[in-house]
Amino acid sequence: MLKSDRRTTIDDVEKMLDPPDAVVEALLQARARVNRYPERALGVTSTFVSEDARMHTVFVERMRGLLSRADMQTPTWRRLVKVTEAGITQFLPTTSCDLANFIRCLTFHVWVLGVLKPDDPSDRRLLSGHHLTVEQITNAFFSVSETGNTSVSSDQIRGALGQWIPDHDDDNNPVNLVFPVYEKLWRLVAATVLCSQGYSVSKNPLLDFCENPTRRQFETSRGTDQGPSATDIMNEVLRLHPPVQEIWRQCGHPWWETLVHGRMQVADIKAVQKFDEAGEVIEEPNKFVPERWRGERKPVMFAFGSGQLKCPADPWAQALAALIASKVTDRVDGMAFTLEKIGGTPKYIWDGWLICRLPSN
């Protein structure tokens, strides 16, 4: 068993993710060395598994380009709303289905058709032809994230993705554009759908955002009592259920130091997000309280990493996840569809939840 050095305080996590004077090559190397599993299982070749600084610059720039094209003021964003609604209709079950499975298929559909192929008609469906279905691909991605392996081959996945995502001149690998991004996004969507169940329809900030998915509405607090905004909800979901619960690095210590500290460093994102900016443990850290983001002293946020390798999708990813989650909440409203929980001890908040179609009168 490899010894690892677990970081749970703000200073320790900062020093690990954003060490003073570190050059990007060293940071990429420390990340690439612990990220071999998506390369092995899926054929991911992007900056997440590479030590190459030029490849890092090119990939991050390309991602920034995708994000700015789909910003909330753009026609692409307005089309994303329609793509999301069409995806929900496509994937809702005839009788019942696993909630996480449904959110995985839907998020994949939104990412691929809405963001990666923004020029196609919004009502286009992801038909699978001779290839894997959306459910088979998303299940394979989930299995790789959880266990490092899948029974589906990387060639099959690449072939299936290639039918929807055009090859690019400088990077022929569609897996790079989907797996590392979509895998985080769907987790945030699923956790948001469940966390927001506590609000009644008339008091749910996500449903206001569903009706009016603009940047202003996303940030606006609710009603005369200044209740939480959709942004506060997303921050609190990210704090309690960060899609990346741990960030790993191989340390560059000399060998004698690694005997004491271990060869691996782990930033425990869930643990460190129990502190506020002043380094104090927040009140009732295990409770979902979006209002805490309206206070003077906010909790710390490491869900998108920190420093030179920090995620470029913060805060756009929160808005997209809020959009998808709000549209699901709007459709699964207890009238035609409802959420039901079956037993068991869950590892994740979404384990054991089903979407069920209600009989029509």
> Interface residues with ligand HEM (CB under 6 A)?
31, 47, 56, 59-60, 63, 66-67, 181, 184-185, 188, 243-244, 247, 303-305, 309, 311-313, 317, 321
**Could you check whether the bond before residue 315 is cis, i.e. omega within 30 degrees of 0?**
yes
CA distance 205 to 212: 11
CA nearest to 70, candidates 118, 123, 113: 118
Closest CB to ligand HEM among residues 41, 116: 116
CB of 225 to ligand HEM, least distance (A): 29
Closest CB to ligand HEM among residues 238, 354: 238
CA distance 134 to 126: 7
CB of 130 to ligand HEM, least distance (A): 29
For 99, 318, 346, the CA distances from 205, given in Å and listed in that order, are: 21, 14, 27
φ, ψ (nearest 5 deg) of residue 111? -65, -45
Closest CB to ligand HEM among residues 79, 354: 79
Both tokens assigned to 258: 């690694």
Both tokens assigned to 222: 């609710």
Closest CB to ligand HEM among residues 130, 347: 347
CB of 343 to ligand HEM, least distance (A): 28
CB of 188 to ligand HEM, least distance (A): 4
Both tokens assigned to 124: 């286009």
Closest CB to ligand HEM among residues 272, 321: 321
CA nearest to 179, candidates 25, 347, 48, 325: 48
CB of 166 to ligand HEM, least distance (A): 17
